[in-house]
Amino acid sequence: MRILKLALIAGIAAVAALPAAAQYKEEYKISTVVPAPFPWGIAAEKWAELVAERTDGRINMKVYPGASLVSGDQTKEFTAMRRGIIDMAVGSTINWSPQIQELNIFALPFLMPDYKAIDALTQGPVGKRIFEIIEQNGVVPLAWGENGFREVSNSKHPIRTPDDLKGLKIRVVGSPLFNDTFTALGANPTQMSWADAKPALTTGAVDGQENPLSVFTVAKVYEVGQKYLTLWHYVADPLIFAVNQDVWNSFSPEDQEIVRQAALEAGALCIEIARKGLIGDDKSAIRDVEALGVEVVELTPEQHQEFVDATRGVYETWKAKIGAELVDMAEQSIANR
């Protein structure tokens, strides 16, 4: 009898030691700023689709575009995800930079001259360090995507020199660094969400805006007076696929790997779409914009350098704020690309 009792106790203890079955929600909310057919939205939808397929529906993810989970205020997205209000996001480094200062590195004016420079940062030691910092802040980063280089457009005249920006009212995202950059160039930056930007361009409340070419075309920004576009590659906008820490910990290891791999694949797709017609010998995206009646300015090296020189003070000030060691690492990675 005693032996039987001991065996029963041992059995109960063994069962208690087994890991609890994962308890999954009926739906996991993914926050994005824009939907499909923007590359950003397409990638988020692909992430959800791949995860649903590979988990046989155990993990059901739904995209909520327009930063609707934070009432349209995209700069609050990271905080909401950290607190568990948002389960997941495909978020912009710009929008998360108010909470993660190091993310401002991608908005340092004229740090990254080309797409290889973006890759050198996101796929190198800088990207690894940034992911570590994000995870320390209660969010699990999984993969990089891309919104693209941000180019400047306006309704008044072509922009070829810093003088051409003087006095122009330019819509910028809610980041102090963007405000400082355009102020240094003599413009009047106006911070507003993307939801408010197009109406402001329509009414003439602002003269111009800065966004990747994919946003310019898909959102039909050219229809609201933006007839002059300058390709200056002044900053880039990498995206990050991420999950709230508690949500991540609720997944089994096998499902964590599925979610991570799906994010990596969706991120690669995002980058491919964002760069289509803009790399190598294929410049079809630029020709497509010109066909819409937009005057496209491609700066000469000398013209480009004028903008670099005009914003160097901003660069140095923000290098100290971001962390000189991280920026030095970025500069070295780009030099070695």
- Write out the two tokens for 239: 């995206």
Q: What single-letter amino acid sits at 237?
A: D
Predicted pLDDT at 16: 41
Write down all domains in the chain, each with its CATH number in brackets.
Answer: 23-335 (3.40.190.170)
Classify each residue of 104-125 as buried b or exposed e, where b means 16 or more C-beta atoms within 10 Å of its C-beta. bbbbbbbbbeebebbbbbbebe
Predicted pLDDT at 22: 59
Which among 149, 306, 160, 303 has a CA at the least distance from the CA of 233? Answer: 149
Helix (H) or strand (E) segment spanning residue 19: none
Predicted pLDDT at 1: 47
CA distances from 198 to 28, 132, 209, 212, 226 (A): 30, 36, 9, 15, 11
Predicted pLDDT at 229: 98
Predicted pLDDT at 193: 86
Q: Where are the beta strands (DSSP E) in the chain?
A: 28-31, 61-64, 88-92, 139-154, 169-172, 188-191, 208-211, 228-244, 295-298
CA distances from 316 to 66, 99, 184, 210, 250 (A): 34, 21, 13, 22, 42
Backbone angles phi and psi of 273, in degrees to 5: -70, -40
Q: Give dist(CA 206, CA 195) in Å, integer.
A: 14
Q: Give dist(CA 177, CA 96) in Å, integer.
A: 13
**Category of 80 on φ-ψ map: left (φ > 0), alpha (ψ -120 to 50) or beta:** alpha
> What predicted TM-score, i.e. pTM, was given to this entire model?
0.91
Burial class (CB in 10 A: 0-12, 13-18, 19+), 299: middle
Q: Give dist(CA 201, CA 159) in Å, integer.
A: 17
Predicted pLDDT at 11: 46
Residues of the chain with pLDDT under 50: 1, 3-21
